[in-house]
Structure formats: structure tokens, C-alpha cells
Amino acid sequence: MIKKIALFIFAFPSLLFAQSYDVLFIGNSYTYYNNLPELVSNIANDFGDSLHYDQSTPGGTSLFAHSQNQTTLNKISQQNWDFVVLQDQSQRPSLSPSYVAASVYPYANQLVNLIDSNYICSETVFYMTWGRKYGDQTNCSVYPPVCTFLGMQHRLRESYLTMGNDNNSSVSPVGIAFKNSIAIDSTIDLYTSDNSHPSIYGSYLAACTFYSTIFKKSSVGCNFFPSAISQADALHLQQVASSTVLDSMSVWNIFQADFDYNLNGKTISIINKSSNFENCFWNFGDGNQSQDINPIHTYSQNGVYDVILTVQTNSGCVSETYSTQIVVNSNNIFEYDKKKEIIKSYNILGGVTKKNKRGLRIDIDSDGNKHKMFNFK
């Protein structure tokens, strides 16, 4: 199918360089089983990134208990963490909304406030856990929605997203990755024999999910995976985790810079698709700037321009940039045939039609000027 467009875009990923983060994991056995933080660190190392971690993860501990646990409080204050991961006891966030509102949310908020007061630039990540394999049979009779895996997972999703949104924090959707993996290949058992804790497969899936959440990169192709996992199964888990996170970053409130656009003549209308940001700054590449969320800008001349969006969060501590190169030419219409990977340029003033494949030059100017074009995918 041929799509008509009025400008050409080349997007530059802003996160291709190596990254290094200090991360504190606060949780319980769902974190310390198979040493989840170490798995995340090993994945990061394989891609040339670094994750240095500490953890406070006594078994069965809830956010309420952590809010009063001196070891946890000391670890929060011991250094300026880039990220702090919060995970509640596995059942509590899946119970009734009234129970969660009274017994979970206040302590999530209390811990986030402590994290912020220690270092305003720390980013809190809520660890969305998974429904038990056959639901929560302990609480099934008193709260039937948790009687099945899907019912329990639905409530966990609701509660963790509320915690993320209410506290301006992101969510690592490990439970959704479990759900997606099971839907694709239920033969990969993500649980231990107790049907609750993660097997090495479940922990590796969780680690891949955290890698994508924190580093905003895909784990597909990672050469590190535990020896008990085959290469084929590792690839499956990597693909599930990456797509779960990166295809829906705004849903998980993960801080990102992103935008779409429309062009009418020389006027570009921008739709800001960034998430979890406080401020945004636009540079249109022609000397003009804006701090509007969804700006409209008119170029005075045809040409090639770099449109750059910078968004900030955490009181300006963290910023991310997304840039796109555009060609503004009111005399031309471009058609892109995605199947054939061909760009066609039609000059409405009678210029010669050119065809271009995979990043070669293309004539687009009715005056005979040439612009270098890049591969469009």
C-alpha cells in the first residue's frame, strides 16, 4: 500500500549509547528468587550497559512492613539511587479496591516520598507481579475475582498502574509479560512447584522486562541467559518482555520522548506522545523554539530541518531527547511504498519523477536542487 506524505522523516534513537545506573530493589521473595537483580545486571552487561544494585527483600514483606523496616529505610538513604524498585507482597494488591486503597496505596506513597526526600532525582519503579498459576486460593472465597490467574492478574494490573499514576512513577509490567508468555507458549513453565514463586524461566522473563523498563532497550539477542534455559526459550522470553514494555511505554508511565506530526504546506503540527514528563522544549531547526506541549510551527523556507524534542521529569533532573529530520518542500509530494521500500517524488510544478531505494539521493526541488534522503521504514 502506498502512503502519501508531505515530508520525509529520519528518526534518531536517543538511547543507543551505554548507560549505567544504581538501582535499589525493595521487595520480597519474588525479587530474591534466582537473584533477580543479578540477572538484570548480567543482561545489562551483555549489552555494554551497567546496573549496580542493592536490595532489601525479606520474604513475605509488604510495602507497609518496608515503610517501618529500618534496614529498608537505611538503604534508601545510603546513596543517591537512579532507580528504586518497589514490590508489594504478592497477594495484597490483588484484593478488593477498598482493601488496597486502605492497606497498600498509603504505604506506596509514603515510600515514594521517602525516596524523593533522599534524592529528588531518583525514579521509582513499581514492580507489577503476576497472578498465581491457579489464582489465589487462600482468598478466593472472600474475594472471588482472584480465584483464577487472569482474575488475579487483572487486579494486580489495576493496582500497580494506580500506584504508578498516583505517584508519578513508572511500572515494570512483569505480570503482563507472564500473561503474554503463557498465551504464546504455555509449555514454558514460569512457576516453581508452589505455583506462586518464579522458576528460573519466570525470573529471567522478569529480568528482561526490567532491563527494557529501566534502559528502554530491547533485550532481544542478549547472549546472557541461565544455563538451564535453552537459546530458543531465552529468545522467546526476550521477545515477550521487550514487546510488552516497549510497545506500550505510555501505558506503563515510562518516561520517554516521542512525537508524531502532520505537515500542511510549510506548517508542521506536532502531536506530543511523550509520557511521564513535566516540561518539554522544542527546537525546530530554523532558529525557532517552543515550550508548548503540541506546537504548530510554520517554516519560512523550504529545506531540511532537525526537529528536536527534549522532555524533562523529576524536577528537571532527568531529560530525554527525540529528534527527527524533515524535508520541507511545498512543491513536492512524496509517496512511500513500504513493501518495495521505494520513495517516489512527484514535483507538482512539472519536475521529473525520481525513484529511490534504501537511502540514495533523490531530486525533490523544482529548481534542480538535490537533497540527500535516508532510508524510510
The most confident of the ranges 92-101, 251-260, 272-281, 330-339 is 92-101
At which residue does the C-alpha cell 492478574 appear? 153
What is the structure's pLDDT at 228? Answer: 98
What is the structure's pLDDT at 265? Answer: 82
State the chain's maximal CA–CA distance in angstroms: 77
Q: Is the CATH number 3.40.50.1110 carried by domain 20-246?
A: yes
What is the structure's pLDDT at 1? Answer: 30
Under a CB-based contact definition with an 8 Å cutoff, are residues 341 and 358 in contact?
Answer: yes
Sheet with 9-12: strands ordered across: 9-12, 318-328, 303-313, 279-283, 289-290
By three-state DSSP, how is residue 24 classified? strand
Question: Which is nearest to 331 in space by CA: 346, 321, 319?
Answer: 346
Q: How confident is the model at residue 16 (pLDDT cuts 50, 70, 90)?
A: low
Residue 353 reports pLDDT greater than 50? no
As a whole number of angstroms, the distance between CA 160 and CA 108 comes to: 10
Q: How confident is the model at residue 7 (pLDDT cuts 50, 70, 90)?
A: very low
pLDDT tens digits for range 176-190: 999 999 999 999 999
Question: Which is nearest to 270 in space by CA: 320, 311, 228?
Answer: 311
DSSP code for 209: H
The model scores a pTM over 0.85: no
The residue that leads in pLDDT, 343 or 224, is 224
Report residue 80 as a C-alpha cell.
543517591
What is the structure's pLDDT at 329? Answer: 81
Q: Which of 27-31, 69-73, 251-255, 271-275 has the lowest mean pLDDT?
A: 271-275
Under a CB-based contact definition with an 8 Å cutoff, are residues 351 and 43 in contact?
Answer: no
As a whole number of angstroms, the distance between CA 290 and CA 315 comes to: 19
Q: How confident is the model at residue 372 (pLDDT cuts 50, 70, 90)?
A: very low
Residue 374 reports pLDDT greater than 60? no
Q: Which of 17-31, 55-69, 261-275, 353-367 has the lowest mean pLDDT?
A: 353-367
Please give the C-alpha separations between residue 346 and each of 277, 328, 333, in angstroms, as whole numbers.
Answer: 39, 14, 5
Q: What separation, in Å, do the N-terminal and C-terminal C-alpha atoms of the chain show?
A: 13
Which string of DSSP letters, residue by residue, matches 146-206?
Answer: GGSHHHHHHHHHHHHHHHHHHTT-EEE-HHHHHHHHHHH-TTS--B-TTSSSB-HHHHHHH
Residue 91 reports pLDDT greater than 70? yes
Q: How confident is the model at residue 277 (pLDDT cuts 50, 70, 90)?
A: confident
Report residue 186 as a C-alpha cell.
504455555
Q: Which residues pair with 217 in a beta bridge?
A: none
Question: Which is nearest to 82 in space by CA: 39, 46, 45, 53?
Answer: 53
DSSP code for 221: T
What is the structure's pLDDT at 347? Answer: 44
The residue that leads in pLDDT, 355 or 295, is 295
pLDDT tens digits for range 58-90: 999 999 999 999 999 999 999 999 999 999 999
Report the CATH superfamily, name and number, of domain 2-14+257-372.
Immunoglobulins (2.60.40.10)
Report residue 14 as a C-alpha cell.
536517543
Percentage with pLDDT > 70 across the chain: 83
The residue that leads in pLDDT, 182 or 318, is 182
As a whole number of angstroms, the distance between CA 264 and CA 173 comes to: 39
Domain assignments of the chain as residue spans, ordered by start: 2-14+257-372, 20-246
What is the structure's pLDDT at 314? Answer: 62
Rg (CA), the chain: 24
pLDDT tens digits for range 113-163: 999 999 999 999 999 999 999 999 999 999 999 999 999 999 999 999 999
